Structure 1
Amino acid sequence: MKDPLLQRVATPLLCALLLGSALPVHAGRPAPTNDFSKAEAGERAQGGDTTHDKRLNADAFSHSSANLSFEKRLDFALGNGMFKKIWVSSPSSTTASDGLGPLYNARSCQRCHLKDGRGHPPEGNYPQDTAVSMFLRLSIPPQNEAQRKALAEGRLGVIPEPTYGGQLQDFAIQGLPAEGRMHIDYREIPVQLSDGETASLRQPSYRITDLGFGPLHPQTLLSPRVAPPMIGLGLLEAIDEADILAQQDPEDRDGDGISGRANQVWHRQRQALALGRFGWKAGNPTLNQQNTSAFNGDIGISNPDSPAPSGDCTVNQPLCLQAPNGNTEQHDNQEISRQMTDLVLFYSRNLALPPRRDVDDPQVLAGKKVFYETGCIRCHTPKYVTGDNPALPEQANQLIWPYSDLLLHDMGEGLADHRPEFLASGREWRTPPLWGIGLTETVNDHSYFLHDGRARSLLEAILWHGGEAEPMKQAVIEMPRQQRANLIRFLESL
């Protein structure tokens, strides 16, 4: 068998038969392996049949699902065009692209998700650098009974800051001031590891300078966020809800110290609570809601699901509310139509995973053993078989390897933002998928990780783990240097 990606171009069942391994073909969570002498069947094709086999260069995250039909590749290309579209302010002669802002963080989706990959913190504070792929979420504690009731019922996940809204927009159209500038200061924290090895963690602190609309509420809560990678999102949406919920253990009844729980968030189309899957705190239930919220909040583009033409403007920003918009009949009386957001949805749903590298390498296998036996898989669930959905055949019935349970976990005080979001506390974060993480530097030319990019390496990201992951972190600190190197080598292969 010359083609090591046979499992990608064949069906999972055929691949299992050819490789002599009984892979499941029904939705579920296959049991993790305890054999680290060789790679598992299907492991290299971490996105199942969707995994691409293109060159692993700076475009490695920008290819379509390998099992897309020729006809559907046109929709993918059109969605890619919408993802890259540069928006301009209204009024404009180009009515197909106007409606930017009035306040915004970026002029296109691609500006934050550069090459469909991971964002990063600025290399310096403004004006040295502009934080295009990172911004600050804003909120305040509830101030009255109506707000407390909306939070309790889940109709709101947060109470926006009354002047600046739900996030800080650091750009504005002509005639308006930007809301402000994110300012980051770092403090180095040394960490002593076994075998004489040392590491240093940079602890960030955040503040806002150059406020454009007056002072912030005195109880304002800040939460920094970098843009996450776009790959594999359609596959995460295709995991059966029951397989995610079955991993919950909020009371830690099994006594393993892990208390994962699902976020329950507001589904705008259904007008009901639903399982949160997307975002750093699992604050959105669907990929479409994640996309359309970003169009409205990050770029200021109204759409059928987030129809405010002034984006995140508040009543305390009257000039912002009075700014012209780009709503047109040809776009469903919005600035971007349902057809256009559907194309972006199709594009983001079908951004393919790259293949794993070096799955049979002895050091990678040794690192995989460390990852599993240290207990990392208690949160970073290795694999699933996606559900059977005839409407989305590309993502259906696929053996996938995201290394995430998509649940919320207490990550300790070191990573806490102290800003609740729906059911997520100020110390909880959704387990991020790890697939593709080893290609971050190849695609995005940096190695910054975690929700705010504070970690400058995979080892630093591990050393920031606390809370439920504290025992695993301590095990990494205390293990022999070679085992740590093996663990990092395994992560680099994902």
Structure 2
Amino acid sequence: MPDELTVGDVTAVTLFQAAMNIPGRVLPDDPERRAAAERGEHLFAQIGCTDCHRPALILENPVFSEPNPFNPPGNLRPEDVRRPITFDLTRDGPGPRLERTPDGRAIVRAYTDLKRHVICDERDPLFCNERVIQDRVPTNQFLTRKLWDVGSTAPYGHRGDLTTITEAILHHAGEARPQRERFQALAQEDQAAIVEFLKTLQVLPPGAPPEVTESQLRELVRRRRAAGREWNQ
């Protein structure tokens, strides 16, 4: 029976995903909510959330290549093709794109450290929900979730069983318990400010600037629909 997807098909899907525009920021129109989001961003760092949800990582080489030299064994490798397909993640494809540094590197504002952590314990085992060992990784370890689209991607949790950002924060345990407890110790308006900040991190329409207001986003979506280009977050 022939393969359902050819090597070319898989390559096309890979390139499509790699070339997608990155998320950005949607700032509240309301001045009070915008001020709360700004305060929430500072509080997010102050209570230690950025220890793992790092606001930015540096990509030394902004050029994406397929096949990639980091492809694991058993996958297509650069030596398997005459010439890899490459493009610059900071210059090619629809915006918003990764920011380019003066020395030619790229800034990835993904709010992750791309490391595995244990964020569950006996007192709160909610995130200890994996049952199958994969690639010898302990079942209680998970990569730090990227938050750069968290305002668009409810529900939350590994199983999608948490409906709000606050619920997701309050189920952080294990290595993340200190940050959770600092969040719980905040005044209610400060907790709400952190959530307001996180809600600004959203998926944007292709071609949008990296930062827009709520009214600007509505206008961008209206124009796309008027041009027959539907878009949903």
Settle same-fold status: TM greater than 0.5. Answer: yes
Taking the aligned partners of 1:455 and 1:465, their CA distance within structure 2 comes to: 12
Question: Would the aligned equivalents of 2:62 and 2:88 in 1 still touch at CA under 8 Å?
Answer: no
1:365 to 38, 57, 63: 38
CA pair 389-478 structure 1, distance change in 2 beyond 3 A: closer
CA contact (8 A) 1:418 1:425 kept: no
Look up the SS of the partner of 1:412 in the other structure: coil
Residue 434 of structure 1 corresponds to 147
Q: Report the Cα offset of residue 423 of structure 1.
A: 4.3
- Paired residue type of 1:417: N
Does the 8 Å CA contact 1:386/1:395 hold for their aligned counterparts?
A: no
User: Does residue 4 of structure 2 align to residue 335 of structure 1?
Assistant: yes
Match of 1:465 among 160, 166, 172: 172
TM-score (norm. length: structure 1): 0.30
Percent sequence identity over aligned pairs: 23
Specify the alignment match of 2:115 in structure 1: 407
1:385 corresponds, among 58, 62, 80, to 58
2:129 corresponding residue in structure 1: 417
Partner SS state of residue 356, structure 1: strand
**Runs of 4+ off more than 6 Å:** none
In our comparison, the structure showing a higher alpha carbon Rg is 1
State whether structure 2 residue 156 is matched by structure 1 residue 452. no
1:354 paired residue number: 23
d(CA) in 2 for partners of 1:395, 1:401: 13
Q: How many residues align?
A: 157
Secondary structure (helix, strand or coil) at the match of 1:357 reads strand
Q: By how many angstroms is 1:409 displaced?
A: 0.3
Q: 1:374 maps to what in 2? A: 47
For 1:337 and 1:483, how far apart are their aligned partners in 2?
A: 52
> Equivalent residue of 2:27, what SS?
coil
CA distance in 2, matches of 1:438, 1:389: 26
The alignment's TM-score, normalised by the length of structure 2, stands at: 0.62
Q: Distance in 2 between matches of 1:439 and 1:389?
A: 26
Correspondence list, 1:26-425, <5 A? 325=1, 327=2, 334-358=3-27, 361-390=34-63, 391=65, 392-395=86-89, 397-413=105-121, 414=125, 415-417=127-129, 419=131, 420-425=133-138
CA apart distance, 1:422: 2.9
Q: Which amino acid aligns with 1:422?
A: D
Root mean square deviation, CA, Å = 1.9
Q: Quote the residue 2:205 is aligned against.
A: none
Unaligned runs of 5+ in 2: 66-85, 91-104, 202-233
Kept in 1, the 8 Å contact 2:115–2:143? The answer is yes
Deviation for aligned residue 1:374: 0.4
CA contact (8 A) 1:409 1:430 kept: yes
Q: Which has the higher helix share?
A: 2
Contact 1:404 1:431 in 2 (8 A): yes
Aligned residue type for 1:428: Q
